[in-house]
A and B are shown apart, each in its own frame.
Chain A
Amino acid sequence: RKEVEQDPGPFNVPEGATVAFNCTYSNSASQSFFWYRQDCRKEPKLLMSVYSSGNEDGRFTAQLNRASQYISLLIRDSKLSDSATYLCVVNMESGGSNYKLTFGKGTLLTVNP
């Protein structure tokens, strides 16, 4: 099983649509979870950390299901500017303090006018 696996995509959605990305991870002892976005030919940028209770930031909602080792990202009311690659990222170190992250391959989202 791959360590961090994401929907392969690509996703093409119209403006205003709701889109969901899913991600699974292999190490049940993982402590920290993140979603990053990466624009073409740019560096990854932190979108949001994912907390056990789930968290929301404007149009973005992240959920964590530890029992199923599953993370999700929901984007509501998609904007053209949301077009990017979304990376699921997990700290696989069981101690949680080493900061070594494992990245999924990313899912490309294109929001169309």
Chain B
Amino acid sequence: DAGITQSPRHKVTETGTPVTLRCHQTENHRYMYWYRQDPGHGLRLIHYSYGVKDTDKGEVSDGYSVSRSKTEDFLLTLESATSSQTSVYFCAISARNEQYFGPGTRLTVT
């Protein structure tokens, strides 16, 4: 157990509304990640963070922003949700050159 929690675990929202997903870790890991997982695709990296206020884009960053104001929290924001952002979102941390995942958030945009 890597001490990662995600909230909310499930969310249904309407197109055009802002949505923020939270990832919280308890073990002071430097690296944190946001992925999305969709049928027919492997997990795809959205954004990652390598320290407080240090973030960078991943493979599918368009339409997403992130913030990390504290080591333990990494927030993913969809400024204006679209139906194409319906997905399962996983947060992860790096430890000992390995990645460990949170339980995921199922987001549905109607």
Q: Which A residues are within 8 Å of any B CB, using their own CB?
A: 4, 32, 34, 42-46, 49, 87, 99-106
Contacts and interface: CB of A to CB of B under 8 A. Distances in A.
Interface string B79-109: 0000000000010001001111111100000
A44 B43 contact: yes
Given A43-B90, A99-B31, A100-B48, A105 B101 contact: no
A44 B90 contact: yes
A44 B98 CA distance: 12
Nearest to B91: A43
Nearest to B31: A99
Interface string B35-48: 00000111111001
Closest 7 CB pairs of A and B: A103-B42, A43-B101, A103-B43, A99-B94, A105-B42, A44-B101, A43-B104
Contact of B102 (A43, A105, A106): A43
Contacts of A42: 103-104
B77 to A, nearest CB: 21
Contact of A4 (B42, B45, B98): B42
23 contacts: A4-B42, A34-B98, A42-B104, A43-B90, A43-B101, A43-B104, A44-B101, A46-B98, A46-B100, A49-B97, A99-B48, A99-B97, A99-B99, A100-B45, A100-B58, A101-B99, A102-B42, A103-B42, A103-B43, A103-B44, A105-B40, A105-B42, A106-B42
A102 B45 CA distance: 8
Interface string B57-80: 010000000000000000000000
A58 B31 CA distance: 30
B42 A104 contact: yes
Of A34, A101, A105, A106, most buried by chain B (CB within 10 Å of CB) is A101
B2 to A, nearest CB: 10
Nearest to B96: A49
